[in-house]
Structure 1
Amino acid sequence: MSGEQKAFTLAEVSEHNTAKDCWLVIEGKVYNVTKFLEDHPGGDEVLLQSTGKDATEDFEDVGHSTSARAMMDEFYMGEIDSSTIPTKVNYTAPKQPHYSQDKTSEFLYKLLQFLVPLLILGVAFGIRLYGKAPSS
């Protein structure tokens, strides 16, 4: 690494997003990986997809070796101005209505209000159809 450290904005880094000019941000440091694209074991597309953003999480998820981390020094350009990296927003699920036992009871009550008269009508229709009530 050179003694002189330049600070880059994320906008500056994101301008370098082609196979002929590719910069990445990993752990707050800016790397020009253009010369490494052809040699990258995961292919150049992996690196090109990580331009214009903080690629630290992508880099860590792969589990790079100690020797791969040591190679990074060769491509070091400077530091990233952390104020230019957007903060991550945690996802908050929308509030769900609380399950209410009362609503289930209310549904059953309404269902019975419909079925009981229907049953009474069925019995009355059966009596009329067959002429008399069953004897005991």
Structure 2
Amino acid sequence: MVSDAKIHSFEEVANHNKIKDCWLIISGKVYDVTPFMDDHPGGGEVLLSATAKDATNDFEDIGHSDDARDMMEKYYIGEIDSTTVPNKRTYIPPQQTPYNPNAKASQFLIKILQFLLPLFILGFAVTFRHYTKTE
């Protein structure tokens, strides 16, 4: 690696997120892995999924061999300006309504009542008319 390595901003690296133009950030270093897209054992899509973020955890979680780590050297193009990398965001799950087993039963009952109530009223009206009819 060159001692006067080019410093890249996160935004610049994040823009290289296509199959024909793919850069990754791994351990503070920037790699142009575009030539390796077709040869990557996991496929190019795996590399694409690691773009526009710090891919260090993705890379380390796989358990790459020493040979794979040595191979990275030929794709090295510089360092990342760490001040431009966004802070990691804490995952906040979507708010969910607490489970209420009666909710579905209530919805079902309302639908049945919406169907039966007009029939009940009609039946009552017919019966009322029948018994109140004057001859």
Give the match for residue 46 of structure 1. Answer: 46
Instruction: Find the residue that maps to 1:23 and give its secondary structure.
Output: strand
Correspondence list, 1:94-105, <5 A? none
The TM-score normalised by the length of structure 2 is: 0.64
Task: Select the structure of larger CA radius of gyration.
Answer: 1
How far apart are 1:69 and its partner, in Å?
A: 0.3
Q: Give the corresponding residue for 1:97.
A: none
Report the residue type matching 1:26 in the other structure.
I
When residues 92 and 43 of structure 1 are mapped into structure 2, their CA distance, relative to the original with a 3 A threshold, is closer
Structure 2: where are the runs of 5+ without partners?
A: 94-135
Q: Does residue 1:85 correspond to 2:85, yes or no?
A: yes
CA RMSD of aligned residues (A): 1.6
Q: What residue ranges of structure 1 are gaps of 5+ in the alignment? A: 94-136
CA distance in 1, matches of 2:50, 2:18: 11
Q: 1:90 to 1:17 in 2, by over 3 A?
A: closer
What residue is the counterpart of 1:112 in the other structure? none
Q: Which residue of 2 aligns with 1:56?
A: 56
Using structure 1 for the length normalisation, give the TM-score: 0.64
Instruction: Write the deviation string for residues 69-128 of structure 1: whole angstroms up to 9, x where unpaired.
Output: 0000000000000011122245689xxxxxxxxxxxxxxxxxxxxxxxxxxxxxxxxxxx
Measured in 2, the distance between the counterparts of 1:12 and 1:6 equals 12
Opposite residue 24 of structure 1, the aligned amino acid is: L
Correspondence 1:12 to 2:23: no
2: CA distance, partners of 1:39 / 1:2: 25
| Alignment coverage as a number of residue pairs | 93
Residues in 1 aligned to 2:23 and 2:90: alpha-carbon distance in whole angstroms: 27
Counterpart of 2:29, as a letter, is: K
Identity of aligned residues (%): 58
* Structure 2 SS opposite 1:38: coil
